[in-house]
Amino acid sequence: MSHTSAPLRSDSWDPAQYEQFERERSAPFFDLLDLVEPCPGGRVVDLGCGTGELTRSLHERTGASTTLGLDSSHAMLERSASHAGDGLTFELGDIAEWAPSEPFDIVFSNAALHWVDDHSALFARLTSALAPGGQLAVQVPANHDHPSHLVAERVAGEAPFREALGGYIRRTPVLGPEFYA
């Protein structure tokens, strides 16, 4: 998904590339959605809504009166417009800056929060956005110690990649499961 803790600047997300792996990408979404209790007439937010197709499923399965899909990618949100309506809306925004004025019954995010730094502060903010009895349903990939990621990090630290990246190496903000529990 397309979320950073940096200001909204560039948009490198390609919806067509994103949709190539729709089945693989949607499986964890539906696994997470199966754990969510419906909230008929409630308010739902999908942080990192991407192209909006899955957000439509979230909206319908929860029975919410309003669902907001939030994404930082203009290109992804252009695709989401076709899924809007009947209480489902989409908005450009950065998860790292998101602070709702009213609480939500469900704060949902699938495979987006690993792009946002400082999970201690982030999760405090997300839980404070919940209405009493609300649900926080999130899935964050925790594969930063997988060999493919370790090799990519090592290669990024070597010339000429180190210079091309200006020395930047992405460190994962994802913490151990005990933190989230």
- DSSP β-bridge partners for residue 106: 44, 135
In this structure, what is the dihedral angle of CA atoms 129, 28, 173, 68, given to the nearest 10 degrees? -30
Q: What CATH number was assigned to the domain covering residues 15-141? A: 3.40.50.150
Domain-wise residue ranges, the chain: 15-141, 144-181
The pTM for the full model equals 0.81
Q: Give the residue among 135, 129, 107 at the shortest CA–CA distance from 44.
A: 107
Please give the structure tokens belonging to residue 120.
């201690």
> pLDDT tens digits, the chain, 181 residues: what are they?
433 333 444 556 565 665 666 666 789 999 999 999 999 999 999 999 999 999 999 999 999 999 999 999 999 899 999 999 999 999 999 999 999 999 999 999 999 999 999 999 999 999 999 999 999 999 998 777 778 878 988 898 899 998 999 988 778 888 988 988 8
The label of the residue with tokens 């909006």 reads 52
- Alpha carbon distance 151, 161 (integer Å): 13
Q: pLDDT value at position 3?
A: 39
The structure tokens 């409630």 sit at 42
Q: Which two tokens stand for residue 130?
A: 């919940």
Q: Residue 22: what pLDDT? A: 65
So what's the pLDDT on residue 167? 81
d(CA 120, CA 126): 10
Instruction: Name the region of 161 (left: φ>0; alpha: ψ -120 to 50; beta: rest).
Output: alpha
User: How far is 124 from 158, CA to CA, in rounded Å?
Assistant: 37
The whole-number pLDDT of residue 49 equals: 96
